[in-house]
Amino acid sequence: MTELAGAAGYLLEAGMLKRARRSGWWIAGVRDPESIAEHSWRAAVTGMVIASLEGADPARTALLCVLHDTPETRIGDIPRIGHDYLTAVDALDVVADQTAECPPRMSEAIRDAVAEFEAGETPEAICANDADKLECLVQAVEYRQQGVATVQPWIDSGLAALRTDTARSLAREVLEKEPLAWELVRRKPDS
Q: Tens digits of per-residue pLDDT, 138-174? A: 999 999 999 999 999 999 999 999 999 999 999 999 9
Q: Per-residue pLDDT for 185 more than 80?
A: no
What average pLDDT does the structure give for the chain? Answer: 93
Which ranges of 15-75 does DSSP label H, i.e. alpha helix?
16-19, 24-28, 36-54, 58-67, 72-75
Burial 118-157 (b: 16+ CB within 10 A, else e): beeebebbbbbbbbbbbbbbbbbbebbeeebeebeebbee
pLDDT value, residue 190 = 64
Q: Looking at the domain assignment, is residue 69 inside a domain?
A: yes
With a CB cutoff of 8 Å and minimum separation 6, the contacts of 183 are: none
How many domains, the chain?
1
| Integer Cα distance of 148 and 22 in angstroms | 15
Strand partners, 35: 21
**Residue 176, domain CATH:** 1.10.3210.10
pLDDT value, residue 77 = 84
pLDDT (mean) for 99-127? 98
| Integer Cα distance of 61 and 78 in angstroms | 23
Q: Per-residue pLDDT for 48 more than 90?
A: yes
Q: Per-residue pLDDT for 129 more than 80?
A: yes
| Integer Cα distance of 41 and 43 in angstroms | 5
Q: Looking at the domain assignment, is residue 60 inside a domain?
A: yes
Q: Looking at the domain assignment, is residue 171 inside a domain?
A: yes
- What residue numbers bound the domain in which 15 lies? 5-186
Q: Per-residue pLDDT for 191 more than 60?
A: no
**Band of pLDDT at residue 187, cut at 50, 70 and 90:** low
Q: Looking at the domain assignment, is residue 191 inside a domain?
A: no
Q: Looking at the domain assignment, is residue 125 inside a domain?
A: yes
The model's pLDDT over 88-110, given as tens digits with 9 standing for 90+, comes to: 789 999 999 999 999 999 999 99
Q: Looking at the domain assignment, is residue 37 inside a domain?
A: yes
pTM: 0.92
